[in-house]
Structure formats: structure tokens, C-alpha cells
């Protein structure tokens, strides 16, 4: 029988339930998918713990990632037996997502499983991996190439951070990883980091600090991002994609008008499907080049709530894959 993790809203507030029934909230979609795996992202943790208004309708199945097999299709592009993935695209927010054994989705938000990886691998990549791929591509499009200065990656023990380190190191970049958990240094070195530093090492009060980074991939925002911008070298580029450490930046215009620095926002939810498909290709290629199995945890669907709270406490590292069946 179908089963799902469902979020409901009542007069008493928003709360999660684990349901085994045919009463799973499905939204209109011309492709039906037997979901095999999902994942827990920061946005999922916000939704499941009701820490932010991520969910836009109720009842709804959270889970912004899913990987599964097409079981029925009214879209000529997709056929029964096709292996497909979705990362973001509004699922788990505006329409039911991956924490259910069955899902109905529009065919135009599906990506074919990249060659050489499994459905489980796809969720080890997920939104984090394609966001990292988009961030790395943004640096390359702004002519950032391997050189004397390293690329700084903040929030390095999270999903985006670990994938970004992996991709950059395979391209020949020196990578400096920032983390507040120095005991995970060896894990980050195994991902490809050249150096691991603490958050305090990125701090500095001056409008312009010493030029230390050729570029930055920032996953956390806040004061760490502000300091990273002030210490990025002339002509550098910062790709920013998260705000776990804060949504406010304290900056002057000097890094931009005196050093010509580019600050680029990365969004994987509303990007065109062509960009998303390309990011999946790049992320899968990096995964085939170096698997980061030491950064992957696999849990059952019934354990989603507990692990969501762990992620919100900041004691989680890497990616958590959710087995649906």
C-alpha cells in the first residue's frame, strides 16, 4: 500500500504525520513515478521542523528531491520504466514531493537519470550537487581558472560544500574549506580540499582585506560571506547560494568598484530545465570521478523527522539519502 510522510495544518498548527494509505496528497501531473529515494536538504529540514514557511499548501508531502521509475505517463517524452530524477523545481514546496512511495509530476520538470550513476547516487547528489555544479559553472563563466590563489568554499561539511570541493579539486583548483567543526578536517581532505580553516580565519573588520581567494562558493551567507567578499582578489567571483548563517550582508561598495568583484546568486529551483539538466550532467560526472561515500548517510522514511532536527542543530554533515520503499 502507498505510504508517505505528510505535513498537515490544523487549528493547532502545522504538524507531520506518517501515513500508510491511499490518501496521499497528489497534485496534477502527467507522469506517475514510483519513488525509490529522496534526501534531506536544509529546506526540507526547515519544512519538517516547521522552522520557516517553506510549504505553500496543505496537506503536502515534503521532500524537494526524488529519484524513481516511471510507472505511467501521458507525456510522450517519458515511458514506463524510465529512471528519472527531480531536484527542486517546486516539489516539496508548492506541490507534493519525494517523501512518498508514489508521486505525480509534470513531465517538463523531470531529468533522465544520468549515465553511470544509480538512483541512490542521484539522491547523494540531489539539489546540493546541482547547486554546487551551477556555482562552479558560474566561476568558470567568469574566467576563474586554477592559479596561485585558492577558491574558498564555506559551509564545507554540508551537501553543497562537499560537492563543490569535489568538483573544483577535480578541475585542478586549490580549495580552502571553511568549517566550524575542525574534527571533520580529514573528511574534507578526502573530498579534495587542499586546506581546512575555521570560520574565524575568514573574519576581518576592514572594508577591504588582504586578497586571499581567487573566488568563493558561499553556502551560508551572513558575516562569513561579508568577510569573504572583502578578501577576494581583484577580478574575483563569488557564487552565493545559501543563508543558514544569516541573510544580511555588511559591505561597502569598495570590493566591487575597486577590485571588480562579481557577486552572483545561484538558484536551482527556478532555473530553466536546460540549465538543470546540464548541472545534473556535471554533478554526475564529478561523482563518477570521485565518490564521496564517506559523506553519505542513508535512512528510512520513518526517520526523516529525527534527522531533520539533527540538521537544524548543525550537527549533520554531508548528505542524507532517504530510502522510500
Higher pLDDT pick, 31 / 1: 31
What pLDDT does residue 1 have? 81
Summarize the confidence of residues 225-231 as an average pLDDT. Answer: 97
**pLDDT of 178 over the 80 cut:** yes
* Residue 303 near residue 321, CB atoms below 8 Å: no
Residue 12 DSSP label = T
Helix axes 273-289, 159-170, angle to 10 degrees: 70
What pLDDT does residue 188 have? 97
| pLDDT 10s digits, 15-63 | 777 777 777 888 889 999 999 999 999 999 999 999 989 999 989 999 9
Residue linked to cell 571553511: 178
Query: What is residue 259's three-state secondary structure?
Result: coil
What pLDDT does residue 12 have? 72
**Any idea which of 20-24, 170-174, 218-222, 277-281 has the lowest mean pLDDT?**
20-24
The percent of residues above 90 in pLDDT, for the chain, comes to 86
Give the C-alpha separation, 250 to 150, whole Å: 24
The percent of residues above 70 in pLDDT, for the chain, comes to 99
Sequence-distant (6+) residues with CB within 8 A of 214 are 144, 147, 148, 149, 150, 151, 232, 233, 236
63 — phi, psi (to 5°)?
105, 100
| pLDDT 10s digits, 253-305 | 999 999 999 999 999 999 999 999 999 999 999 999 999 999 999 999 999 99
What pLDDT does residue 172 have? 98
* Residue 113 near residue 119, CB atoms below 8 Å: yes
**pLDDT of 13 over the 90 cut:** no
Choose among 31, 22, 3, 15: nearest CA to 100: 3
Domains of the chain: 3-113+292-323 (3.90.180.10), 128-265 (3.40.50.720)
What pLDDT does residue 204 have? 86
| pLDDT 10s digits, 98-144 | 999 999 999 999 999 999 999 999 999 999 999 999 999 999 999 99
Summarize the confidence of residues 238-266 as an average pLDDT. Answer: 94
**pLDDT of 208 over the 80 cut:** yes
Amino acid at each position: 500500500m502507498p505510504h508517505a510522510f505528510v505535513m498537515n495544518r490544523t487549528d493547532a498548527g502545522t504538524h507531520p504525520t506518517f501515513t500508510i494509505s491511499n490518501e496521499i496528497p497528489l497534485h496534477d501531473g502527467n507522469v506517475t513515478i514510483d519513488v525509490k529515494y529522496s534526501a534531506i536538504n536544509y529546506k526540507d529540514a526547515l519544512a519538517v521542523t516547521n522552522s520557516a514557511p517553506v510549504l505553500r499548501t496543505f496537506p503536502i508531502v515534503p521532500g524537494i528531491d526524488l529519484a524513481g521509475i516511471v510507472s505511467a505517463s501521458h507525456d510522450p517524452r517519458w515511458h514506463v520504466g524510465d529512471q528519472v530524477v527531480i531536484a527542486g523545481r517546486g516539489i516539496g514546496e508548492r506541490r507534493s514531493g519525494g517523501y512518498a512511495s508514489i508521486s505525480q509530476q509534470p513531465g517538463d520538470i523531470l531529468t533522465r537519470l544520468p549515465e553511470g550513476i544509480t538512483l541512490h547516487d542521484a539522491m547523494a547528489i540531489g539539489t546540493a550537487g546541482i547547486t554546487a555544479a551551477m556555482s562552479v559553472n558560474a566561476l568558470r563563466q567568469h574566467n576563474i581558472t586554477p592559479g596561485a590563489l585558492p577558491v574558498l568554499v564555506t559551509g564545507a561539511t554540508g551537501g553543497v560544500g562537499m560537492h563543490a570541493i569535489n568538483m573544483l579539486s577535480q578541475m585542478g583548483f586549490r580549495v580552502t574549506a571553511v568549517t566550524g567543526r575542525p574534527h571533520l578536517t580529514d573528511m574534507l581532505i578526502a573530498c579534495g580540499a587542499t586546506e581546512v580553516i575555521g570560520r574565524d580565519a575568514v573574519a576581518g573588520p576592514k572594508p577591504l582585506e588582504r586578497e586571499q581567494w581567487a573566488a568563493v562558493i558561499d553556502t551560508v551567507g551572513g558575516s562569513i560571506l561579508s568577510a569573504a567578499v572583502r578578501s577576494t582578489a581583484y577580478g574575483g567571483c563569488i557564487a552565493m547560494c545559501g543563508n543558514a548563517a544569516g541573510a544580511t550582508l555588511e559591505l561597502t561598495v569598495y570590493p566591487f568598484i575597486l577590485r571588480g568583484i562579481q557577486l552572483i546568486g545561484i538558484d536551482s529551483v527556478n532555473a530553466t530545465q536546460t540549465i538543470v539538466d546540464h548541472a545534473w550532467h556535471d554533478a554526475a560526472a564529478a561523482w563518477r570521478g570521485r565518490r564521496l561515500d564517506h559523506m553519505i548517510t542513508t535512512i528510512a522514511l520513518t526517520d526523516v523527522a529525527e534527522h531533520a532536527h539533527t540538521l537544524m542543530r548543525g550537527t549533520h554533515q554531508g548528505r542524507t539519502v532517504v530510502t522510500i520503499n
